[in-house]
Amino acid sequence: MKTTKKMLAALCALTFCVGAASCGNTSSSSSKAAGDSTSSTGAEEVTTTVAAKEMAESQKEQVASIAEKLDDTKLENQTVKFLSHWKINPQDNNVVPPDIQMFRDKYDGKFEDISTTWENRYTDLASRVMANEAPDMFSAMDMDGFPQGAIKSMFQPVDDYIDLDSDLWKPAKPTNDAFVYEGKHYVAAIESQPDIVCIYNKKVVEEKGYEDPAELYYKDEWTWSKFSEMCLDFADYENEIAALDGWWYAKGLGHTCGLPLIGMKDGQIVNNMSDPAVAKIQEKMYDLQKNKVCFDLAANNWQVRGNTYGQGVGSGETLFFPCGMWAIEAKPEDVKPYGDVEAGEVMFCPMPRMDENDKYYVTARDNGYFLCAGAQNPKGWAAYQNCRMLAKTDAADITEQQLKEDYKWNDDMIKMRRDIYALANENPVYEFSGGVSQELSDAMNNVSQSTVHTSDPKSWTQTVEENKNAVDELIRRANENLDEKKDEKKEEKKD
């Protein structure tokens, strides 16, 4: 009873900590988002048969053959409940991916989408857990649920249901080992996923006489100096011509130094604001924005151009739109703001490397899911995670085929996708500021935007002077809370 009361108190506390962890917009940063945000707290559970494009029969046969490697255990409960502001069930003529096809065929599995909004997802999760109506699955891809979701018992360890040391899961071990609390893994991630890539329009780049960034990357010449040169030449503030637009360029550029602002080391939360590498990249960002290269979000009611992701890239009004690859892993008509993907206009590459570094660092997130506390179908959840992992290792060619045939990607895009995924797993930078507390998330959102603020950029020296002490105090309290929770769990084990 004592443990239950503590968990309920923690659940209530978390709803206030992370209920509105957003960066100024309500669209998802998850790979399957596409702006699906449809209901509010207390939303009814919805199970729908949605209009999706079926796999080709040859692909289905390949998936069925691959699935023979999986455990043949029959699931007593085939339905996995997923709480999110986006739907996991394929819909709107998007093609069924290999992992979902495998889950359907092998286990007769299906998903029940429980709709919520970005702002209310944690509140809804807490309400359902406390009412013994917990969903099974919750996205970990937004990087705002760990470590606090583990500390506050919103999620449970995955180790009892998935063998992360098995041959199947070995490729993902480095990623999953980054999300450990009290010796237990709290995320089932099939890989580290690039969270931010530099999207551009090849036709626009060519017309401006610039070297193609992707070609520069393959020559190992996609450096900060080349990037800055293009941005400064392209931007024309008076005519609203911007080198950069979007919500994520500050993070993507900042991480090119190889360090997050807030990281985790040896089980403790750390503040990297004073690190010389961080200071160096932030000053580069400040020098760039002093020349007004970013689209003026502040003057446009804090909205991207046209309130549409990618707007202006295809028309030549915006040069780069740093964003998740999910933005262009979509139907050609949905990618139109970036250009004509079928005509080969849309392209992307990593964010540039610092000239003095020999590595391209990638802002990364885990491509995985949490197992909710009180989940009613953990075995179904685990079966789907195994399908995801096997599809990643053995059915990658199907995913690439779907990108080509259904989303009209070309070979250059496919190759770049492979290479950036490799970078994200070799040189990932995980930003943990969103997963500690709402106070820290808000503080670091302002800090991370400070040097590239579109109306009032500040030097990094000034930013650190104004914010470091407050951030240090928030981290001190968070680490203190983390240690207290560890001590409480030790006492509970004794009891």
Q: What is the pLDDT of residues 412-433, one digit of tens each?
A: 999 999 999 999 999 999 999 9
Name the pLDDT band for 37 (thresholds 50, 70, 90): very low
What does the pLDDT look like over 249-262, one tens digit per residue? 999 999 999 999 99
d(CA 53, CA 341): 19
DSSP H/E element including 184: strand 184-185
In a domain, 37, yes or no: yes
Name the pLDDT band for 39 (thresholds 50, 70, 90): very low
For the chain, the average pLDDT equals 89
Distances in whole angstroms, Cα of residue 48 to Cα of each of 45, 176, 357, 487 = 10, 32, 50, 44
Same domain, 310 and 441: yes
DSSP H/E element including 304: none
More confident residue, 50 or 362: 362
Same domain, 124 and 136: yes
Proportion of the chain above pLDDT 90, given as a percent: 81
pTM above 0.75, yes or no: yes
Same domain, 344 and 357: yes
Same domain, 253 and 135: no
Same domain, 351 and 263: yes
In a domain, 248, yes or no: yes
In a domain, 124, yes or no: yes
Distances in whole angstroms, Cα of residue 218 to Cα of each of 38, 192, 211, 352 = 41, 22, 12, 12
Same domain, 172 and 205: no
Which residues on adjacent β-strands are paired with residue 185? 180
In a domain, 21, yes or no: yes
Per-residue confidence (pLDDT) for residue 374, from 0 to 100: 97
Contact (CB, 8 A) for 179 and 371: no
Strands (E), 306-431: 318-323, 346-349, 362-372, 428-430
Inform me whether the pLDDT recorded for 142 exceeds 80.
yes
In a domain, 330, yes or no: yes
d(CA 142, CA 21): 10
Same domain, 203 and 307: yes
Inform me whether the pLDDT recorded for 355 exceeds 60.
yes
Identify the domain containing residue 376 by its residue range: 2-193+366-414
Per-residue confidence (pLDDT) for residue 14, from 0 to 100: 41
Number of domains in the chain: 2
159 burial (CB, 10 Å; 0-12 / 13-18 / 19+) is middle
Inform me whether the pLDDT recorded for 23 exceeds 90.
no
In a domain, 419, yes or no: no
Phi-psi region of 306 (alpha: psi -120 to 50; beta: other; left: phi over 0): left
Mean pLDDT score, 65-91: 95
Question: Token match 């551009």: residue?
Answer: 200
Same domain, 304 and 407: no
Q: Return the sign of the alpha-carbon dihedral for residues 181, 184, 188, 190.
A: positive
Per-residue confidence (pLDDT) for residue 266, from 0 to 100: 84
Same domain, 242 and 266: yes
Inform me whether the pLDDT recorded for 20 exceeds 70.
no
Same domain, 210 and 301: yes
Select from 232, 280, 230, 231 the least CA-distant residue to 255. Answer: 280
d(CA 440, CA 409): 39
In a domain, 420, yes or no: no
d(CA 237, CA 483): 49
* Chain centroid to CA 427: 16
Query: Residue 74 maps to which CATH number?
Result: 3.40.190.10
In a domain, 85, yes or no: yes
Q: Are strands 188-194 and 262-265 parallel, antiparallel or unpaired?
A: unpaired
Structure-block tokens of residue 52: 């999706």
Name the pLDDT band for 472 (thresholds 50, 70, 90): very high
Mean pLDDT score, 33-51: 41
